[in-house]
A = this chain, B = another copy of it.
Amino acid sequence: MNNNPIGVFDSGIGGLTVVKEIIKVLPNESIIYLGDTERVPYGTKDRETITKFALELTRFLLKKSVKFLVVACNTISATCLEEIEKISPVPVLGVIKPAAVLAAALTKNNKVGVLATRATVSSGAYTRELRKIKSSIEVFTQACPLFVPIIEEGLLDHPIAKIAVDEYLKHGFEGDCDTLILGCTHYPLIEDIIQKTVGSKIKLIDSAKPTARELKRLLTEKKLLDDGKAEYEILLTDTPPIMQKTIDMFFENKTPAKLKKVYL
């Protein structure tokens, strides 16, 4: 047993889709969420910048005595998970591997698509991870840089979301795949639009769910489960007025904690 909190971090607020899943499968676990809204988005930035920022977030959470670190951001997981592991005395779980394991298990035609930020796509992390599990898998990737701003603006039901989905899927690459990874923690919020566009035969994979399940397995294995009452903190490096509204949208108005501004 270990009643210290789990540290979950992301470049912004997308990682809250992972928090939501963790709360579902691990209702006794306390969580400190740290989102770098001051410097979001990371997915359009270069490797050096992303790594520098990610290590600052890691150090901040380690000072809070977290027992486990969840990198709830595909861009960070794809870019510098090893660097984070190097400086962390506690176990670290990224979102890429759990999503890749699930996709590899589900694909029948061995063709997997990945929608992600530009940084995640150019890192090649999903391709490497999928091929490690099953070397015969063909991987098709597509960067979708407008999805994050559209989602952060809350335009989930607006025609602009559908047009952006059409734009990024117009090459029809996903038609060959039977499995499509939503390789950014924001994308589950427009999952319905993506599903309608690609058709119901393609299985969509949201990294939040397999990551939460893998976290539960690891906490159990390492005897780190919490038996107390869960407490939640949502810490952000920038809190413009619209933020609460956007986060309430993530949690369907059941946001588990008040937002708090912090300084790294």
Contact = CB atoms under 8 A, between A and B. Distances in A.
Interface of A: 37-39, 44-46, 49, 118-119, 122, 145-146, 149-150, 152-153, 155, 158-160, 163-164, 167, 237-242
Given A146-B150, A149-B146, A163-B159, A119 B45 contact: no
Contacts of A242: 44, 118
A46 to B, nearest CB: 5
A39 B153 CA distance: 18
A208 to B, nearest CB: 23
A50 to B, nearest CB: 9
B149 A158 contact: no
Q: Tell me whether chain A's interface is mostly helix, strand or loop, or mixed.
A: loop
Given A145-B153, A159-B163, A46 B122 contact: no
A239 B46 contact: yes
A167 B162 CA distance: 14
A122 B241 contact: yes
5 contacts: A39-B39, A44-B240, A44-B242, A119-B240, A158-B167
